[in-house]
Structures are given as C-alpha cells and as structure tokens.
Amino acid sequence: MGLPQIFAPGLKTNHSYILVADILLSLGYLWFFYTGFKWLCKHRYQHEFTTITGPVRFKRHYFTDACLLITILLAGTWLVGVKVATPSLNHWEFTQNLVNNVLLFFVAPLVEEIAFRGVILEQVARRSNTVTGVIVSSLLFGLVHLMNGQLDLLSTTQLVVSGFLMGTLLSLAYLWAHSIWANFTLHATYNLILTLIPVQASLSHDWPFQLIFTSHHQLMTGGQYGSDCSLPYNLAYLVMIGLFWIRLNKRISKN
C-alpha cells in the first residue's frame, strides 16, 4: 500500500489516494492471489482442494459461532473496563478508514483463510498430521502479521501469541465444518463487528463511536498492535478454542 505515497505523495491529501491505494491495490492483491492459487493447484499440488473449490455455503451455525465469539470479546472487554467515546470526526480520516475497512472485511479474511487453513494446514497435515498442520499454520498466521508495522519486543510477543491463538481457533472451525466458509465467516464477522465497534487504548478521530480502555496496562490494551492482542481478547480466543476442541473430540469419540 505504500507505492502511491512514495511516487505520488500528493494523493494522500485527496480522495484519489483512497481509490488508488485502498481500492485498486486491494483488488489487485486479490486477483494476484487468485491467479497464484490457481497456478499452484494446477502445477504444484495437483489436487482439487474441495474445502475451497466446493460450493459456497454459509450455514446458520457459522454465524452463531461468530456472534458467540464477539459476545465473549465484548463482555470481557467491558469487565476489564472501557468508556464510551463519541469523538469529533476528521472527515478525511473517517472516509479513508471506512473504505479501507470495508475492503479488509472481505479481502483479508478470504485470502488469509484460503492460504493458512485451506492450503498450509492441509499440506502440512498431509505430510505429517493434523495437529502439526494446525500448529504450523497458526504460528505462520501470527508471524505474518508482524509485516503490518514495527513493534517493540513486548508488542511483538503479544501479536505472535494472539495471532497463534486466533489461528488455532480458525483452524478448529475449519476442521469442524470441513469448509473454508466456516472460518471465513468467523474471521470476516470478527473484522466487521470490531470495525463497527472499535476497542482502543486511546481516542482517535476516524470513527464516530469507540470503546476506550480505562486501563493503560499493555497486557490489557494489546500494546502497539491494538486490542486484538489484549488479555480479554486472548481469553475469548481460548474459550472458543475449548468449545471447538470439545466438539471435535465428541465427533471423534462417536466415530
């Protein structure tokens, strides 16, 4: 996303910057990923990836699980302590944030779920076992988010741990449903709701409604990366991991 800023810095002060940086590059990124995935399927892996290429189906319990995760997250956040803020808006920052988050709601979860759960987890599991597939894909999921910006050591550790936990949760959702659309629904709903109801350590002027942590302790706020890495979020991930683990064990015991 940095090329428009480097070669045409004036774009950053007008709406054409949004069009070029957020829309066209996001769609280009999606096309590039799709083309690469098709090439790998044909020339490298040579099998059909039925959990990805099968019919697109969204079942009710996909959304139920997503709503349960969000409910636990927000309840935990409220117990830790937040205050409701309605700041004055910087309309440029709001517009940029809105367009960027609408695209991230769809593009990022789709690409990440296909790559980490549909491809990496499956390929590692084929060569080793399912547990190793979950661990490797979840660890890579946490590590790849380090590319979002420079962080201090504690924030880096928080991000990798939280990314690993979220990756594990999404992996178990994928294994439970045998469909990429289960973990995509969970991931996309998570992104959407926490965009509409942002939880932050400090006030910003790019969204009209925000929940601000009353604590300034880094473990509570998530550090430099944000609330995704906070303690209440991590506890919510663990609760949902436990739920899916119980479901999978019950299925295994029945078989």
CA 13 to chain centre: 29
Q: What is the pLDDT of residue 15?
A: 64
| DSSP symbols for 219-251 | HHHTTTT-GGGSHHHHHHHHHHHHHHHHHHHHH
pLDDT: which is higher, 50 or 170: 170
Q: Cα–Cα distance between 255 and 193 in angstroms, integer?
A: 36
Pick the range with the lowest mean pLDDT from 5-19, 174-188, 238-252: 5-19
Domain segments of the chain: what residues? Answer: 1-46, 59-254
Task: Give SS3 for 20.
Answer: helix
Tell me the pLDDT tens digit for each residue of 141-152.
999 999 887 899
For residue 252, give Cα distances in angstroms to 51, 106, 135: 20, 33, 20
pLDDT higher than 90, residue 18: no
pLDDT higher than 50, residue 45: yes
pLDDT: which is higher, 74 or 16: 74
Q: What is the pLDDT of residue 105?
A: 79
Q: What average pLDDT does range 95-102 have in this prediction?
A: 79
Q: What average pLDDT does range 43-63 have in this prediction?
A: 79
pLDDT: which is higher, 103 or 86: 86
In a 10 Å sphere around its CB, with 0-12 CB exposed, 13-18 middle and 19+ buried, how is residue 68 labelled?
middle
pTM of the full structure? 0.87
Tell me the pLDDT tens digit for each residue of 167-189.
999 999 999 999 999 999 999 99
Q: What is the pLDDT of residue 65?
A: 96
pLDDT: which is higher, 123 or 6: 123
pLDDT higher than 90, residue 234: yes
Q: Which amino acid belongs to residue 184? A: F
Q: What average pLDDT does range 11-23 have in this prediction?
A: 63
Q: What is the pLDDT of residue 13?
A: 53
DSSP 215: -
In this structure, is the dihedral angle defined by the CA atoms of residues 54, 145, 12 and 2, taken in order, positive or negative? negative
DSSP E strand stretches across 68-190: 82-85
Pick the range with the lowest mean pLDDT from 29-38, 131-140, 236-245, 246-255: 29-38
Q: What average pLDDT does the structure give for the chain?
A: 87
Q: What is the pLDDT of residue 163?
A: 97
pLDDT higher than 80, residue 20: no
Cβ contacts of 201 within 8 Å, gap of 6 or more: 212, 213, 216, 221, 222, 226, 227
Angle between helices 130-144 and 153-177 (to 10 degrees): 140
* β-bridge partners, 84: 211
In this structure, is the dihedral angle defined by the CA atoms of residues 71, 73, 74 and 75, taken in order, positive or negative? positive
